Amino acid sequence: MWKYILKRLIQMIPAILITSFIIYFSMNLTSGDPAMLVAGEKATPAQVEQVRQELGLNDPIVIRYLKYMGGMIRGDLGTSYVTKQDVFKTFMSRLPATLELSFASVLIAVLVSIPLGIYTAVNQNSWKDTAGMIFALFGVSMPNFWLGLMLIVLFSLNLGWFPSSGRAGFQSLVLPAVTVGLGLAALITRTTRSSMLDVIRQDYMRTARAKGASERRVIYKHGLNNALIPIITVIGLQLSNVLTGSVLAETVFSWPGIGRLIFDHISKRDTPMVTGAIIMCSILMCLVNLVVDIVYAFFDPRIKAQYVQK
Amino acid sequence: METTIEKTKSRSLASETWRRLKKNKGAIIGLIFLVVLVIAALASGFIYDYDTQIIGQNISQRLQRPSSEFWFGTDQVGRDIFARILYGARYSLSISAGSVLIGLITGIILGAVAGFYGGLADDIIMRIADVLYAIPNIMIAVVIVSLLGSSTINLLLALSVSAATSFARITRASVMTIRGQEYIESANAIGMPNWKIILKHVIPNCLSPIIVQVTLLIGTTIIAASSLSFLGIGVPAPAPEWGAMLSEGRDFMRSASYICIIPGLVIMATVLALNLLGDGLRDALDPKMKT
Amino acid sequence: MTENILEIKDLVVHYETDDGVVYAVNGISLAIGKGQTLGLVGETGAGKTTTALSILNLVPNPPGVIKSGEILLDNINMLSLPARELQNVRGKDVAMIFQDPMTALNPVMTIGEQIAESVMLHHKDFSKEDCIERAKEMLRQVGIDDSRAADYPHQLSGGMRQRVVIAIALACNPKLLIADEPTTALDVTIQAQVLALMKQLKQEFNTVMLLITHDLGVVAEVCDEVAVMYAGHIVEKGSAYDVFNHTLHPYTEGLFNSLPNLRERGEELVPIKGMMPDPMQLPTGCVFAPRCPYVMDKCRLGQPELKDHGQSHFVACIAYDSEDFKLRRNS
Ligand SMILES: Nc1ncnc2c1ncn2[C@@H]1O[C@H](COP(=O)(O)OP(=O)(O)O)[C@@H](O)[C@H]1O
Ligand SMILES: [Mg+2]
């Protein structure tokens, strides 16, 4: 297993190289002349030229890319054109907010969706099933940022229970996490239900009942364990989605996360910041995928056997 | 001879699908809602005058709550929200349908190329698809729109990317299953060009998942488009795009929450209708998969 | 109070599906006495599995509904037992071996755990170690080295998996063992081994067995009594000797005729013509009438009752209302 993890970590390197290559080139080729941006509007052509020298912008782009990669190995992702701060440090300062929101929302999503998915599957075609599925359907049909706004209207403006913006302690985490979490819950509920429906038909469920196992035990011990693989897949996918994709929730709640960081700096053409942040995100997502694969092995001996062989 | 058989087959598939779809209440409700919405969106161009009634300000009647005169109330500059919503359907529907169409065409071409030629082409196309698949489509769109500048065309392109990846996958899988089958070999042997093979054999073979995917993707794209407008990089301001309306209404959440509530409800209802129809189509097209 | 371990009385089971009602079991009665093995024979779709599942009260609902009847397991009516007590009976008093060992085992649990679970569910006083110890003992009993207890089903061959299923079934020493086509999915050579094992274990564990099969060869080898099932009805039942040597029902005769005969090779096989009726639209008369070579007009009037033809040999065929009717096989 350790060998497998090591191998996967090594395999991540080319993936990160390719991603960083694509991002670096597309960012640098499309965002105009950064020297003008850095030097400021009133700068004379000579000043702009000087800035260009300092930033090494006169080198061919391939050379710049190689230098950039060289810096990356040392944890140096350059300096923001706009804030003049270290990109890596800025990213790291935003990371905790993003991780906090991601984990809280995935936790909420899992707690809601897995029991609900099981419940609807077990009661297939009854009104309970229909009610659960309608809930999930509403969830996937709703713009998530709108859900956030509605929660603010209700719980913040009218009831005053939670703050509507900012990040200050547990109170302020509740609404953003519920917003993102319910959106995810809808998706995971649908997956859980269909996966459980598959499993419920299996012969080994009947074997378990014939042994005298209680319905509860049959569903949770024999059913859920077998239904987990597709569920873990969506959770993994969604986890990497929220890590980088909660820009909307972050906007609605003024949550100082990474999505918002990228969004703000893209419009300011801050190439080093955006490039660095996206590369870091892709590394993060590779790690999440690795964790998901390890979790698979934990739940399914057949997958584990494959890993051990490899 | 062969074509007539195929024709009757596909006709009976269509009528059989329709027969099953009719039994699905949710799908029919969704379908009716969408038909009404499309008609209303088309009609709105004749009923309302864009310059005066849709974007023209009328401060004297600002922030009026929903009433018999203004069904959905008026916004912060006195525009009739109901009229804007109807008019806005044109944006939301055409942008999402347009970008899904672009995605459909590029996706089919790329998927077919990957499937037919295999090797390096397949590797490159599918690896890129994998990368794009792993990035949330909102992020892709944000990056593309920011880099290319915000305009309706760029918005369409940005939103079509994630549609293209999923159609490329479907098409490629379809090519893989029929490649090497005898009738394709013989079509090849008589010198039928690949694009004809794609039109005659590949697309009919994966029509069901494509239809379902188109329906569902139009829904997600409506949400994505409104999200971008909400972020301020979608359809620009005075235009009555649903997401833009929501974004403008944010400042009035406390005093006039309906400005925010209504566009959101409309987006949700539309996407819900598309999802109901899509789920119904999936069950009707492939009864074995029914859960 | 009877001496019978199992008694089924007038069991009726339907599957109420969207497309219509499947008349799977239509009023059958069976009994198995102490120490006996009853063979339940019939084509695929005859309703054998449904009957077996009814005994455990495990017919999948929906769509399956047990419409009426009584199932007495050691004089306890399985059909009126509350869920909790039903769980106590399942696996302990009656256990079942399923047709397909490839799918009957949970792929994400070790085989040891799966056998131990059976023990644990019915011996609340056992510690975890006790249960595992017992599981290993069961593995040895069915001829698998106990070092394989930590293996997962995918690591075992089909024959081995069926042995594990047998071990699970016998782990709590049930009074009744139901084996639903236990060898159908196995290779021929493995079939013989598994059958021999079951025969031997039945003796050792002193259980009663209901053996479901479509293979008359298996019946001849293992069973004391035979019941022949067709389209949800028992058409003939009696001792294995009588049914084999004094066959009464035309359907049973058809089954024998369609069997290859090793001693007289080259003899033509005579398959039963036609197909089993659609269980959603059973014929109004005798269910076998459409395929029966001896069919008479009055056969189409109603399903004949199962009548004793002497020495507890029952047949459901009105041709026997006339004294001198004989099957070709017997004349
Ligand atoms: N879950 C089910 N739903 C609907 N019909 C079923 C179901 N299970 C069995 N049947 C039908 O009931 C009849 C009897 O099936 P079964 O008891 O499995 O027969 P056998 O075991 O003798 O092959 C068959 O026609 C079968 O199609
Ligand atoms: Mg069966």
**Pocket flag, ligand 1, residue C311 (CB < 6 Å):** no
B16 in a domain, yes or no? no
Task: Please state whether at least 3 CB pairs lie below 8 Å between chains B and C.
Answer: no
E strand or H helix at C210, and its extent? strand C208-213
> Residue C58 is nearest to which of A209, A214, A225, comparing CB atoms?
A209
The domain that holds A116 is classified in CATH as 1.10.3720.10
Residue C45 Cα to ligand 2 middle (Å): 7
Residue B19, domain member (yes or no): no
**In the predicted structure, residue B288 carries a pLDDT above the cut 70:** no
Of A73, A106, A126, which residue is a domain's last?
A73
Distance (Å, whole) CA C44 – CA C258: 15
Q: Does the distance separating the beta carbons of A244 and B230 come in below 8 Å?
A: no
**Residue range C60-75: average pLDDT?**
89
| Contacts of A among chains (3+ CB pairs under 8 A) | B, C
Strands C307-308 and C225-230: unpaired
**Looking at the structure, do residues A11 and A105 belong to the same domain, yes or no?**
no
Residue A84 lies in a domain: no
Looking at the 3D structure of chain A, how many domains does it have? 2
Cis amide bond preceding C62, omega within 30: yes
Min mean pLDDT across B2-6, B19-23, C223-227, C318-322 is at B2-6
Per the listing, tokens 């399914």 go with A300
Residue B45 clears pLDDT 70, i.e. is over it: yes
Residue A137 lies in a domain: yes
Same domain, A41 and A10: yes
For residue C96, how far is its CA from the centre of ligand 2 (angstroms)? 13
Of A153, A157, A245, which has the smallest distance from its Cβ to B139's Cβ? A245
Q: DSSP string spanning A141-187?
A: HS-HHHHHHHHIIIIIIIS--S-SSS--HHHHHHHHHHHHHHHHHHH
Same domain? A189 vs A122: yes
Encode pLDDT of B79-97 as tens digits. 778 888 888 888 889 999 9
**Does A89 reside within a domain?**
no
Amino acid found at C90: R
Query: What span, in angstroms and rounded, lies between the C-alpha atoms of B108 and B112?
Result: 6
DSSP state of B80: B
Give, for ligand 1, the residue of C11, C12, C15 to mutate: max count of ligand atoms closer than 8 Å to Cβ.
C15
Question: Residue B203: which H helix or E strand, with range?
Answer: helix B203-205
Same domain, A170 and A280: yes
List, for residues A221-274, the tens digit of each pLDDT value. 999 999 988 898 888 888 877 876 688 888 889 899 998 888 888 878 788 888
pLDDT of residue A206: 93
Q: Ligand 2 centre from B60 Cα, in Å?
A: 78
Mark whether A113 and A23 lie in a shared domain.
no
- Does residue B64 form part of some domain? no
Q: Say if B197 falls within a structural domain.
A: yes
Task: Using the predicted structure, report yes or no on whether residue A310 has a pLDDT greater than 80.
Answer: no
Mean pLDDT to the nearest integer, A296-309: 78
Q: What is the DSSP letter of A223?
A: I
Query: Which of C50, C65, C66, C178 for mutating ligand 1's site (highest number of atoms within 8 Å of CB)?
Result: C50
How many Cβ pairs closer than 8 A exist between chain A and B? 99
Interface test with A, best of B25, B123, B147, B258 (most A CBs within 10 A): B147
Choose one of A73, A104, A126: the last residue of a domain.
Answer: A73
Q: Which of A11, A42, A73 is the last residue of a domain?
A: A73
Query: Would B231 be classed as within a structural domain?
Result: yes
Same domain assignment for residues A117 and A241: yes
Kindly state the average pLDDT of the residues B26-37.
91
Phi-psi region of C33 (alpha: psi -120 to 50; beta: other; left: phi over 0): beta
Does residue A113 belong to any structural domain of this protein?
Answer: yes
- Mean pLDDT over C29-33 rounds to 92
**Does residue B7 belong to any structural domain of this protein?**
no
Query: Which residue from B127, B147, B267 is facing A146, i.e. has the nearest CB?
Result: B267
Average pLDDT over chain C, rounded to whole? Answer: 88
Residue A283 counted as domain residue:
yes
Report the domain count for chain B.
1
Residue C88 pLDDT level (bands cut at 50, 70, 90): very high
DSSP state of C300: G
Q: Do A24 and A65 meet the contact criterion of CB atoms below 8 Å apart?
A: yes
Most A CBs within 10 Å, among B33, B34, B124, B139, to test the A interface? B139
- CB contacts of A141 in chain B (<8 Å) are 219, 268, 271-272, 274-275
Distance C24 CA to ligand 1 centre (A): 6
Contact indicator for B53, B85 with CB cutoff of 8 Å = no
Whether residue A254 sits in one domain with residue A119: yes
Q: Clarify whether residues A141 and A290 are in a common domain.
A: yes
- Distance between CA C154 and CA A201 in Å, rounded? 19
CATH number at residue B41: 1.10.3720.10
Question: What integer best gives the mean pLDDT of chain A?
Answer: 85
C64-73 and C6-17 strand pairing: antiparallel
Flag whether A27 is in a domain: yes
Indicate the pTM of the whole model.
0.82
Within a domain: B6: no
Residue C17 Cβ contacting ligand 1 at under 6 Å: yes
Q: How far A193 CA sits from the closest chain C CA (Å)? A: 17
- Containing structural domain, residue B255: 24-51+80-289
pLDDT the model gives residue B290: 44
Q: CB–CB of A18 and B254 under 8 A?
A: no
B17 located within any domain: no
Does residue A40 register a pLDDT over 50?
yes
Structural domain range at position A243? 95-309
Could you read off the pLDDT of B149-165 as tens digits, one per residue? 778 888 898 899 888 98
In terms of domains, do A37 and A119 share one?
Answer: no
Q: What is the per-residue pLDDT for A115? A: 94
Q: A88 lies in a domain?
A: no
HSE (side-chain half, CA atoms, 13 Å) at B59: 0
Task: Find out whether A213 and A222 touch, Cβ atoms under 8 Å.
Answer: yes
CA distances from B158 to A247, B89, B97, B163, B266 (A): 16, 20, 13, 10, 23
Q: State whether A280 and A151 are in the same domain.
A: yes
Domain contains A85: no
Q: How far is CA C7 from CA C54, C73, C214, C241, in A?
A: 12, 7, 22, 22
What pLDDT, in 10s, does the model give residues A117-128? Answer: 999 999 888 899
Arithmetic mean of pLDDT, C91-99: 91
pLDDT at residue B4 is higher than 60: no
Give the Cα separation of C82 and C74 in Å (integer): 17
Confidence (pLDDT) at B6: 52
User: Checking DSSP bridges between strand C176-180 and strand C208-213, what pairing results, if any?
Assistant: parallel
Instruction: List the single range of A214-223, A272-281, B100-109 with lowest mean pLDDT.
Output: A272-281
Distance from the C215 Cα atom to the nearest Cα atom in chain A, whole angstroms: 22
Question: Residue C106: its pLDDT value, please?
Answer: 93
Residue B68, CA distances (Å) to B72, B82, C298 in order: 9, 11, 77
